[in-house]
Structure 1
Amino acid sequence: MDRTTSPNARRAPIPAVLAPVALVGGWTLAAALQPDFDPVGETISALAATHARAPWVMGGTLAVTGLAHMATALAVRRVRTPGRVVHAVGGAGTLAVALLPVDVAPAAHGAAAAVAFGALSLWPALAGRRGERGVLSVTVQRSAAGVLVALLGVFVLALQDVGPFGASVTGLTERVLAAAQALWPAVVVLGTREA
């Protein structure tokens, strides 16, 4: 049995698709349960804070998303090992964000979020294979990393209240970034299954 048809590789689409579905579905449900929440200005961490109406929804969502990232990194054998390792670190950082609410452990939460966002933006730069075509080509993977790093930069600027809109769009920039980071592994998994 080769690397692409192993049981792990065949199951890879499950966690890869679960991550974006759980993340977007979870933050949508958590926001619906907290009608005073501002999804454009507030971060998703506010939905998991202990003072939120249903912190377990967003906390559970982040935990599932982090575990899904780690399972995807383990399962996708065609991605280069450095990319898989950094992707798994991003998943572990996301899981740590779930376990460290922003209002209970702000410094640790911030550090875990920095690890998660950084690793989930950078892993594609280490994932491509020379000579591959399609989604696993070095050019495609590095381009994806460039887009994710740019989105991370916009989020950091909003978080620091810098730029044309500043903190008024922190939540929106975070959601765009997090959705793109959760969706890219699914694109890779489904794209490599076609190859």
Structure 2
Amino acid sequence: MSTVPRWALLSAGGAPLFLVGGWTLAQAAQPDGFDPVRQTISALAASGADHRWIMTIGLAGLGLCHLATALGLVSAAPAGRGLLALGGLATLVVVAFPQNPTGDSTTHAVAAGVAFGALAVWPALAVPRRAAPAFHRDSSARVRRAGFATAAVLLGLIGWFAVEFFTDGAWIGLTERLVAAAEAVAPLAAVLTAMAAQRQSRSSGPG
């Protein structure tokens, strides 16, 4: 079994810190009247927004962390790692093409959609079809079920956010934050699971 490097834990743990820390600091720096329940994360990094650099750094850090984690999570299947990397790249495109003061740019909207979609689906494709010899079959099956369950929950949250987005709902900011936070934590859970499996494999190995 390929060994997940320790630095992957740093990149995976950095993703939610950059995201949640970024929007927390950016919201605190906004003038009175900013409503995180109704207003999106992109509004904090939009062209012309007050102190937009804070959320811009947060999103850039998030994208780079996803790319690094995809590189380091060598125990995952290539398809899952590829989608995680795609989510990171799409996040960087979101940073490069911020929301316009009068509304979304097409590139921003498409990149955000790709990022949300890729980061929701990747856990379902991350578990290799053939378990490594050190794994018991039931353990591999549990991990696979967990991956599909995680993807299902994330897609459900995206569906809720989509309803709020297209109906101009009152909870659009809240639902976006729920989706983004859950997607940022998922790679950390995957790295922790992989490292736990490595420790179990070493402890149950010969000698």
Secondary structure of the residue that 1:102 maps to in structure 2?
Answer: coil
**Equivalent residue, structure 2, for 1:140:** 146
Distance in structure 2 (CA, Å) of the matches to 1:46 and 1:37: 10
Extract unaligned runs of 5+ from structure 2: 198-207
1:153 to 159, 175, 183: 159
Q: Deviations over 1:42-81 (max 9, x none)?
A: 1000000122111111111101100100100010101100
**Equivalent residue, structure 2, for 1:122:** 121
**Equivalent residue, structure 2, for 1:188:** 190
Q: Deviations over 1:95-143 (max 9, x none)?
A: 1111111107611100110110010001111112344527972111011
Tell me, yes or no, if the aligned pair for 1:136 and 1:188 is still in contact at 8 Å: no
Distance in structure 2 (CA, Å) of the matches to 1:87 and 1:79: 11
Distance in structure 1 (CA, Å) of the matches to 2:36 and 2:64: 24
**Equivalent residue, structure 2, for 1:69:** 66
Detail structure 1 runs of 4+ shifted over 6 Å in the superposition.
none
Structure 1 counterpart of 2:88, one-letter code: G
Distance in structure 1 (CA, Å) of the matches to 2:94 and 2:121: 18
Distance in structure 2 (CA, Å) of the matches to 1:136 and 1:119: 22
Extract unaligned runs of 5+ from structure 1: none
Residue 10 (1) aligns with residue 6 (2): yes
Structure 1 counterpart of 2:122, one-letter code: W
2:56 to 51, 59, 79: 59
2:172 to 170, 173, 185: 170
Tell me, yes or no, if the aligned pair for 1:128 and 1:140 is still in contact at 8 Å: no
Secondary structure of the residue that 2:169 maps to in structure 1?
Answer: helix
**Equivalent residue, structure 2, for 1:40:** 37
Distance in structure 2 (CA, Å) of the matches to 1:37 and 1:184: 28
TM-score (norm 2): 0.86
Tell me, yes or no, if the aligned pair for 1:94 and 1:113 is still in contact at 8 Å: yes
Decide which structure has the larger Cα Rg and report it. Answer: 2
Residue 89 of structure 1, CA deviation: 0.1
Distance 1:30 1:134, change over 3 A: farther
Distance in structure 1 (CA, Å) of the matches to 2:142 and 2:100: 40
Residue 36 of structure 1, CA deviation: 2.4
Number of aligned residues? 187
Residue 31 (1) aligns with residue 27 (2): yes
